[in-house]
Amino acid sequence: MARIVVALGGNAIIRPKQRGTYDEQYHNIRNTCVQIASMIERGYEVVLTHGNGPQVGNILIQNEEAAALVPPMPLDVCGAQSQGLLGYLIQQALACEFRSRGIQRSVVALVTQVLVSLDDPAFSNPTKPIGPFFNQERARRLVVEKGYVMKEDAGRGWRRVVPSPDPIGIIEKDIINRLLEAGVTVIAAGGGGIPVIDEGAHLRGVEAVIDKDLAGERLAEDVGASLFLMLTDVQKVYVNWGKPSQTALDCITVDEARRLQNEGHFKPGSMGPKVEAACRFVENTGGKAVIAALEDALEALDGNAGTHITPRAKNGT
Ligand code: ADP
Ligand code: MG
């Protein structure tokens, strides 16, 4: 059975213009799980990961607004909360879909820690905006009182930015593999995982956000996946994105992807990390990576949709 890692983008959980009510999120996740169950019925062994941007953002707003009543939690704890929230919904929705199809399979969402290093250059250059917008006055106080790094976001106010370090390894890797061996469908490294550093005697959570596609790539390597599928809200990766000359890519080698990446075709924070994750997966494993629209997931697995990034052509051709 081909083992694949599927990374679910934000639109698998909250659709454009939705506020993210419980009903909206559950409904979207149910629809997504229909596709995941179909993959499993077709014989793929699926390992799932997912984004958490809006969910952790909301938890941060709740923390901020209720700070006088309830002690706010640090970002790593908020990340864990969001993994629990989304893991629960996906675990329940997928199990429900299995039940309705008569598939005998257990599903488990794992609170997952991902190792990062304080030597990562990201720690001296925080770039990832998170949580609520603040006015300048409040932003200034947060810098003084909490040591936050705050950046102005194009007219919308001030926002905290945190480092986005590279994932080095998945702490729960062994248990994930044991669960897979036991035939369990695993949801892991949600929201890029909870970033932790190794202090020898113990692990310590840090205030950072790991890109979920890069963490998904680590997961894909760690479980020995043959394919890494990133599902998002565009049908393909484009060159000259947003310009009249934009062109969709169907199938490119990893060398071609690296060349286009160096030419600046993929925006940082969105398509950039997806293409980076795709390249790493192909380079490090010789497997294939696919970036496709959520609706096209099954066609993408058949090779009929999405952008496919493949190993370099043999014999130097
Ligand atoms: P997800 O939540 O699925 O990770 P992102 O918003 O992070 O989604 O990334 C997908 C977005 O990347 C698309 O909606 C598109 O706006 C943007 N994007 C940037 N550059 C490109 C490109 N070259 N080709 C396609 N999409 C691009
Ligand atoms: Mg993204």
Which of 203, 225, 247 is a domain's end point? 225
Q: Residues 87, 192, 274, 288: which is the catalytic one?
A: 274
Which residue has a Cα nearest atom 18 of ligand 1?
271
213: CA distance to ligand 2 center in Å?
A: 7
**Residue 147: its pLDDT value, please?**
93
CB burial string 212-251: b at 16+ within 10 A, e below: bbbbbbbbbbbbebebbbbbbebbbbbeebeeeeeeebee
* Residue of 238, 234, 251 lying closest to 292 (CA atoms): 234
63 assigned to active site: no
**Residue 262: its pLDDT value, please?**
98
Find out whether 199 and 116 touch, Cβ atoms under 8 Å.
no
Residues 53 and 197 grouped into a single domain: yes
Residues 239 and 90 grouped into a single domain: no
Residues 95 and 176 grouped into a single domain: yes
Q: How many domains does the chain divide into?
A: 3
Find out whether 107 and 94 touch, Cβ atoms under 8 Å.
yes
17 assigned to active site: no
Give the atom of ligand 1 at the shortest distance from the alpha carbon of 10: 2
Give the atom of ligand 1 at the shortest distance from the alpha carbon of 213: 4
128 assigned to active site: yes
210: CA distance to ligand 1 center in Å?
A: 17
151 assigned to active site: no
> Which residues in the chain show pLDDT less than 50?
none
270: CA distance to ligand 2 center in Å?
A: 5
**Residue 64: its pLDDT value, please?**
92
Residues 174 and 281 grouped into a single domain: no
The verdict on residue 40 lying in a domain is yes
Residues 101 and 145 grouped into a single domain: no
Residues 149 and 261 grouped into a single domain: no
- Given ligand 1 and candidates 270, 274, 309, which is best to mutate, with the most ligand atoms within 8 Å of its CB? 270
The verdict on residue 119 lying in a domain is no
The verdict on residue 100 lying in a domain is yes
**Residue 313: its pLDDT value, please?**
77
**Residue 316: its pLDDT value, please?**
52
253 burial (CB, 10 Å; 0-12 / 13-18 / 19+) is: middle
- Residues having CB closer than 6 A to ligand 1 are 9-10, 51, 232-234, 237-238, 241, 265-267, 270-271
88: CA distance to ligand 2 center in Å?
A: 21
Which residues, in sequence order, are CB contacts of 82 under 8 Å at separation 6+? 52, 55, 56, 59, 190, 191
The verdict on residue 120 lying in a domain is no
Residues 176 and 311 grouped into a single domain: no
The DSSP bridge pattern shows strands 237-239 and 227-232 to be: unpaired
Which residue has a Cα nearest atom 1 of ligand 1?
9
146 assigned to active site: no
Which residue has a Cα nearest atom 10 of ligand 1?
270
Residues 144 and 174 grouped into a single domain: no
72 burial (CB, 10 Å; 0-12 / 13-18 / 19+) is: middle
**Residue 264: its pLDDT value, please?**
96
* Owning domain of residue 130: 126-162
Residues 70 and 187 grouped into a single domain: yes
- Given ligand 1 and candidates 11, 49, 164, 233, which is best to mutate, with the most ligand atoms within 8 Å of its CB? 233
22: CA distance to ligand 1 center in Å?
A: 25
Residues 286 and 214 grouped into a single domain: no
CATH at 239: 3.40.1160.10
79: CA distance to ligand 1 center in Å?
A: 22
- Given ligand 1 and candidates 128, 232, 274, which is best to mutate, with the most ligand atoms within 8 Å of its CB? 232
Query: Cα–Cα distance between 127 and 159 in angstroms, integer?
Result: 11
Which residues, in sequence order, are CB contacts of 218 under 8 Å at separation 6+? 114, 167, 168, 169, 170, 189
The verdict on residue 121 lying in a domain is no
Residues 2 and 100 grouped into a single domain: yes
